A and B are shown apart, each in its own frame.
Chain A
Amino acid sequence: MLFRTLWAERMKLRHSPVWLAFIILPVLPAIMGTFNYLQNIDILQDQWYSLWTQHTLFTCYFFLPAIIGVYCSYLCRLEHINHNWNSVMTAPVPVAYIYLSKLITASVMVLLTQIWIGVLFVVSGMLSGLAAPIPPELPEWLLYGAVGGIVICALQLCISFVIRSFAIPVGIALIGGVVGLAALVKGYGVWFPYSLLCLGMRANHPGGPMQCSTEQFVMNGIFYLIFCIMFAVVWLKKRDVVAR
């Protein structure tokens, strides 16, 4: 049943160019960040690690959470318009599957974006003529970044379920990113869901260990994920459908 719900999500997104945003967004820091790195190569001396900060710093603090917010808003808008909640909630599908299918769809997009960021990073480094080998931590950065991204997806989907506007959840995601930066600076990054993305990607400190232990990072990610799933299920079960 979950697979069929997922298939339905895929059909809803068919021929929709929403994935383009995730292709374009990482290209900008890849081009401009690499250019900036080459301009300041005498200050930025850590080669691949310096290049990584240029590629990811602004993107994963502010813009990746917001673009995830846009994608989740889009996934929920499909139900908010044309009285679609009536059809969705009367279909013989457990409500958890409705949420999970959207979460998995958004998570796949986050995973593909992480791979794309990795590819752009390696290509930019090679074109910049970096002599050192590619950092062995790269897959780890991308994987933990994906974990943080999936947590943001889970949260944004809940927000978009509750708030029926397209734009307001995106604004909340941006505010989340800004507050997440403050939380990260103060050392509470692992406790704040929007900080997990940049914490996992080591955007500000790629050479060293994470601000917290890996176990704590994963446990907090799972906690937020379960919390969001439970919230969404309870919300869908208890609230009466308002369809427009």
Chain B
Amino acid sequence: MDAHELSQGWMFFLYQFPLLNSIMMPVIAAVVASRLCDNEHKGQTLKLLNTVMPAGRLFTAKFLCGALYMLAAVLLQLVVIVAVAYAVGFMGTPPFDKLFYYLLFTTAVNLTILLLQQVLSLLFVNQMVPLTVGLIGGLAGLFIMFFPQNLERLFLWGYYGVLMFVGMDWDRVTRITDFYYTPVDWAGFISLAVMFCVIYIIGRALFVRKEM
């Protein structure tokens, strides 16, 4: 890597990882949620569990369990980012505030997608449905990154792009890529939080009313 690339290394990572996350994380969330919920369908243990704890608490407990895995995935990613940055020799001190935002935003999107996947995995015995939704959502989320941001905001899987805070300029003549920080989209973060609340309230109610 040349000096220009090393000076932009942190921004390069914070630009590339949300793209990578929009491919990987929806599928990982679908797999984690399906794994946690399918066990109960297979063993027909939901009724049994419901006799020892309220369905609402079971829903929350399953979500927290899945959330730990998703959080661990992002933390591991951060460790890899910092380790590689030091190994390669990126210039400047690590931008701790930006890395914190990355952790916050990626976890927030992951958990909202995980919540949706959990609702689907609990409601449908056939796990093909939630996994297909996860895959198609991930694919659409990736493509929608190349669309105007107003469209991205309407689509849960597009929030990896909405909450990205690094932009890129590619000069066609010189073929030099320049990265730059953009303002954090707090309105996007709030709309994601609203989505989370809506999915939680509706999903939990649907699960509680479902025949176990």
Contacts and interface: CB of A to CB of B under 8 A. Distances in A.
Interface of A: 16, 18, 20-21, 24-25, 28-29, 32-33, 35-36, 39, 43, 58-59, 62-63, 66-67, 70-71, 73-74, 77, 80-81, 165-168, 170-171, 174, 178, 244
8 contacts: A18-B128, A32-B143, A32-B144, A165-B35, A166-B128, A166-B131, A168-B35, A170-B27
B147 A167 contact: no
B35 A167 contact: yes
A17 B58 CA distance: 29
Interface stretch (B76-84, B101-109, B132-140): B132-140
A98 to B, nearest CB: 20
Most A-side CB within 10 Å, residue of B24, B132, B144, B172: B132
A121 to B, nearest CB: 16
A171 B31 contact: yes
Nearest to B27: A174
B145 to A, nearest CB: 10
A36 B143 contact: yes
Contacts of B30: 167, 170
Nearest to B117: A167
Given A32-B140, A63-B138, A244-B42, A167 B131 contact: yes
Nearest to A18: B128
B142 interface: yes
Contacts of B42: 80-81, 244
A70 B135 contact: yes
Nearest to B32: A167
Contacts of B136: 21, 24-25, 28
B28 interface: yes
Contact of A25 (B24, B31, B34, B135): B135
Contacts of A18: 128
A227 to B, nearest CB: 26
Contacts of A28: 136, 139-140, 143
B143 A58 contact: yes
Contacts of B128: 18, 21, 70-71, 73-74, 166
B24 A70 contact: no
A165 B146 CA distance: 35
A220 to B, nearest CB: 26
Contacts of B5: none
Interface string B142-179: 11101100000000000000000000000010000000
A73 B23 CA distance: 21
Interface in B13-72: 23-24, 27-28, 30-32, 34-35, 38, 42-43
Contacts of A168: 31, 35
A166 B39 CA distance: 10
A167 B38 contact: yes
